[in-house]
Amino acid sequence: MPRSRPGAQSRDEPSPVEGPLPAGPGTRARPVPPSADARLLAIAADHLRRLGHRQVTVVGVAAEAGMTHANVYRYFPSKTALVDAVAGRWLREVEAELGAIADAPDPADDKLERLLLALASMQREVLARDPHLFAVHRDATVESRPIARRHRGRLRQLVERVIEEGTNAGTFSLRDRERGLAFIFDTSHRFLHPVSIQLDAEVPRDLIEARLGAIIRAMLRILRIGTL
């Protein structure tokens, strides 16, 4: 068993990131230090951005955090789990933005179009801005790692909500919802899968958007008339 440093947080103790104790009258609340796992994630994110996921090491992250590498394993069982957790923070941001689109008071067909366009756009943006982070997302998707499976499940839930809303409102004519969901993901796969996005990295953005827009318009026509 790894030996923790004196004063290290136990797994069973509440994380300090949950919030400070209420300040008494006339006292000033002290800033809450980040939890150990949040600090490790911040360091790992910096190493990933500068070095690439192949050069990130648990030993290097631990050294910058001022702890032994054995102590890092209390929070993340492997280097892959650590870099996947970094990618997971970005994927949760993506899911939150897509969730806001799904929750908007707009027609279902408009929401589905904006959701698919946003998902493609956010992936292209992170590929350009932080290619090492994108590489973790891509590899996790190809290898079907837990972080990718959870993300795929959340995407499916969001699209399913929009499809159900559109069907109930009469916007979509679907006799088989499962077939409709499969049709949406099969049709848009070429523009949403991270491997395809990587392969199209040099294609002008306006051309990619025009091609995806044409696919979505054709998809929506079929969903409206229900010829699946």
Q: What is the dihedral of CA 47, 51, 57, 63, to 10 degrees?
A: -50
What is d(CA 214, CA 217) in angstroms, rounded to the nearest whole number? 5
pLDDT of residue 6: 40
For the chain, the average pLDDT equals: 87
pLDDT of residue 33: 56
pLDDT of residue 175: 86
Which distant-in-sequence residues (6+ apart) come within 8 Å of 57 by Cβ?
79
Which distant-in-sequence residues (6+ apart) come within 8 Å of 28 by Cβ?
none
Residue 34: band (very low, low, confident or very high) from pLDDT cuts 50, 70, 90 = low
Flag whether pLDDT at 27 surpasses 70.
no
Q: What percent of the chain has pLDDT over 90?
A: 79
For 203, half-sphere exposure in the C-beta direction (CA atoms, 13 angstrom radius) is 14
- All structural domains of the chain, each given as residue ranges with its CATH number in brackets, are 33-77 (1.10.10.60), 86-225 (1.10.357)
Model confidence pLDDT, tens digit, residues 95-116: 999 999 999 999 999 999 999 9
CB burial of residue 80 (10 Å; 0-12, 13-18, 19+): middle
Model confidence pLDDT, tens digit, residues 35-80: 888 999 999 999 999 999 899 999 999 999 999 989 999 999 999 9
pLDDT of residue 35: 86
pLDDT of residue 80: 96
CB burial of residue 133 (10 Å; 0-12, 13-18, 19+): buried
Residue 29: band (very low, low, confident or very high) from pLDDT cuts 50, 70, 90 = low
What is d(CA 95, CA 99) in angstroms, rounded to the nearest whole number? 6
pLDDT of residue 195: 97
As given in the structure block, the two tokens for residue 32 are: 């809450």
Q: What is the DSSP string of 118-136?
A: HHHHHHHHHHHH-HHHHHH
**Mean pLDDT on 157-182:** 93
pLDDT of residue 26: 53
- Selection from 73, 57, 69, 122 nearest residue 95 by Cα: 122
